[in-house]
């Protein structure tokens, strides 16, 4: 049975006549009459007893109308729920950044998107690389920003490269290694290192360094995912920290710290991943465009 015809029949019952229902529905009487005739033909019995000026539901018709009203109510609620879901999808974007120490990668893009599109809502989540990949695969997030190589192996993901992330080792101004024109790996290994994430390419390269020199990485590294604390520790001790290239050029950083003159870390290609079978929402398209305009050019150090 056609839902529209059910609505016509329910209107006849509520307004007491075919003519009254037609006026309320803004339809012709013949249209409403045809709907009623079609429904009665489908059911095999009369829904109404016709009288001179009105209609009255038959006993079987009343049972039918009660059930039909519930069905139409459910359909209208389903339609409204779908509308609200579409609205939410069009205004909400769930962004995952991995590893957690790289959350600052999207600071500029997030700020600009919020200022330009106040109707949108951003849910930003920092996660491990593996956790981020699983979250996108499950549909818990809409977008994942992180190491390109961690996402390229996923057949269900569409990945776009956003640029390369360059990072440095840094120390306090009066550190024994500050200002040295050339630094060896052995000299770095002589000091405690503060890694920004337990599972990151920084930490992997530091582990390789300690393993090569016969040291225990777990006993030689701090792992702290909060840059202000890392900077305070480095400023007050001989510990060595990790900072992004962009943040290292800021006045605030230059006043307190020095970069070690060694290209220790390989550049990391950063990517933007979504699920292939998802149609991009308006919010996703807006975020993607803003991320292209303000790419993640190494704001790890700016995390707060």
- Which CATH number goes with the domain that contains 221? 3.40.190.10
Q: Which of 76-85, 111-120, 155-164, 261-270 has the lowest mean pLDDT?
A: 76-85
pLDDT(38) > 90 = yes
Per-residue pLDDT, averaged over 145-152, amounts to 87
Say if residue 45 is in the same domain as residue 179: no
pLDDT for 145: 92
- Which CATH number goes with the domain that contains 36? 1.10.10.10
Say if residue 219 is in the same domain as residue 276: no
Query: What are the residues facing 49 on neighbouring strands?
Result: 56
Contacts of 32 (CB under 8 A, 6+ apart): 8, 11, 12, 18, 21, 22, 25
pLDDT for 300: 42
Say if residue 69 is in the same domain as residue 80: yes
Say if residue 204 is in the same domain as residue 150: no
For helices 3-15 and 29-43, what crossing angle results, to 10°?
110
pLDDT for 243: 87
Q: How many CB atoms lie within 10 A of CB 249?
A: 13
Q: For the residues of 199-211, what is the DSSP string, one character each?
A: SSHHHHHHHHHHH
User: In the chain, pLDDT over 70 holds for what percent of residues?
Assistant: 92
Q: What span, in angstroms and rounded, lies between the C-alpha atoms of 247 and 302?
A: 6
The residue assigned the tokens 């491990």 is 128
Instruction: Name the average pLDDT for the chain.
Output: 86
pLDDT for 143: 93
Both tokens of 192, joined, read 């405690």
pLDDT(27) > 60 = yes
Please, which pLDDT band fits residue 302 given cuts at 50, 70 and 90?
Answer: very low
Say if residue 253 is in the same domain as residue 228: yes
pLDDT for 200: 67
List pLDDT tens digits, range 86-103. Answer: 656 678 889 999 877 677
Say if residue 18 is in the same domain as residue 84: yes
Question: How many domains are there within the chain?
Answer: 3
Please, which pLDDT band fits residue 155 given cuts at 50, 70 and 90?
Answer: confident
Say if residue 155 is in the same domain as residue 282: yes
Say if residue 25 is in the same domain as residue 74: yes
pLDDT(64) > 90 = yes
pLDDT for 128: 81
Query: What are the residues facing 167 on neighbouring strands?
Result: 244
pLDDT(298) > 60 = no
Contact 257, 171 (CB under 8 A): yes
Say if residue 238 is in the same domain as residue 295: no
Contact 95, 125 (CB under 8 A): yes
The more confident residue out of 177 and 285 is: 177
User: In the listed set 72, 89, 106, which residue is the last one of a domain according to the structure?
Assistant: 89
Say if residue 191 is in the same domain as residue 233: yes
Radius of gyration of the chain (CA): 32
User: In the listed set 38, 72, 89, which residue is the last one of a domain according to the structure?
Assistant: 89
**Which of 42, 41, 51 lies closest to 12, judged by CA?**
51
Using DSSP's 3-state secondary structure scheme, residue 165 falls into strand
On the CB side of 210, CA atoms within 13 Å amount to 16
User: In the listed set 89, 105, 120, which residue is the last one of a domain according to the structure?
Assistant: 89
pLDDT for 304: 37
pLDDT(59) > 50 = yes
DSSP strands (E only) in the chain: 48-50, 55-57, 92-97, 121-126, 143-147, 157-165, 167-172, 193-195, 221-223, 241-244, 257-259, 268-275
Please, which pLDDT band fits residue 51 given cuts at 50, 70 and 90?
Answer: confident
Phi-psi region of 221 (alpha: psi -120 to 50; beta: other; left: phi over 0): beta
The more confident residue out of 98 and 63 is: 63
Give me the torsion for CA of 74, 76, 80, 81, rounded to 10°: 20
pLDDT for 86: 63
List pLDDT tens digits, range 217-258. Answer: 677 788 887 888 999 999 999 999 988 887 888 888 999 999
Give 32-41 contacts, CB < 8 A, sequence gap 24+: 32/8, 35/2, 35/4, 35/5, 35/8, 35/9, 36/8, 36/9, 36/12, 38/2, 38/5, 39/1, 39/5, 39/6, 39/9
pLDDT for 297: 59
Per-residue pLDDT, averaged over 147-154, amounts to 85
Per-residue pLDDT, averaged over 154-179, amounts to 90
What is the domain extent for residue 251? 167-259
What is the end-to-end Cα distance of the chain in Å, rounded?
59
Say if residue 195 is in the same domain as residue 236: yes
């Amino acid at each position: 049975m056609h839902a529209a015809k059910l609505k016509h029949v329910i209107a006849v019952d509520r307004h007491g006549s075919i003519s009254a229902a037609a006026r309320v529905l803004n339809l012709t009487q013949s249209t409403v009459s045809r709907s009623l005739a079609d429904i009665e033909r489908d059911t095999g019995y009369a829904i109404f007893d016709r009288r001179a000026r009105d209609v009255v539901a038959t006993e079987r018709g009343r049972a039918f109308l009660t059930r039909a009203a519930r069905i139409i109510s459910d359909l209208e609620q389903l339609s409204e729920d779908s509308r609200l879901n579409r609205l939410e999808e069009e205004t909400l974007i769930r962004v995952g950044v991995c590893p957690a120490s790289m959350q600052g990668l999207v600071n500029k893009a997030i700020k600009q998107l919020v200022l330009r599109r106040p109707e949108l809502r951003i849910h930003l989540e920092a996660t491990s690389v593996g956790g981020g990949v699983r979250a996108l695969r499950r549909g818990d997030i809409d977008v994942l920003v992180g190491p390109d190589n961690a996402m390229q192996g996923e057949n269900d993901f569409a990945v776009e490269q956003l640029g390369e992330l360059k990072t440095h080792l840094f120390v306090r101004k009066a550190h024994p290694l500050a200002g040295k024109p050339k630094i060896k790996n052995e000299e770095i290994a002589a000091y405690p290192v503060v890694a920004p994430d337990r599972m990151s390419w920084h930490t992997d390269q530091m582990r390789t360094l300690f393993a090569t020199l016969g040291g225990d990485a777990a006993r030689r590294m701090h792992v702290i995912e909060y840059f202000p604390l890392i900077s305070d520790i480095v400023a007050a001790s001989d510990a060595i920290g990790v900072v992004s290239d962009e943040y290292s050029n800021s006045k605030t950083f230059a006043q307190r710290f020095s970069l070690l003159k060694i290209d220790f870390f390989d550049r990391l290609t950063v990517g933007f991943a979504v699920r292939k079978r998802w149609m991009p929402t308006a919010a996703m398209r807006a975020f993607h465009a803003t991320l292209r305009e303000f790419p993640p050019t190494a704001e790890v150090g700016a995390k707060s």
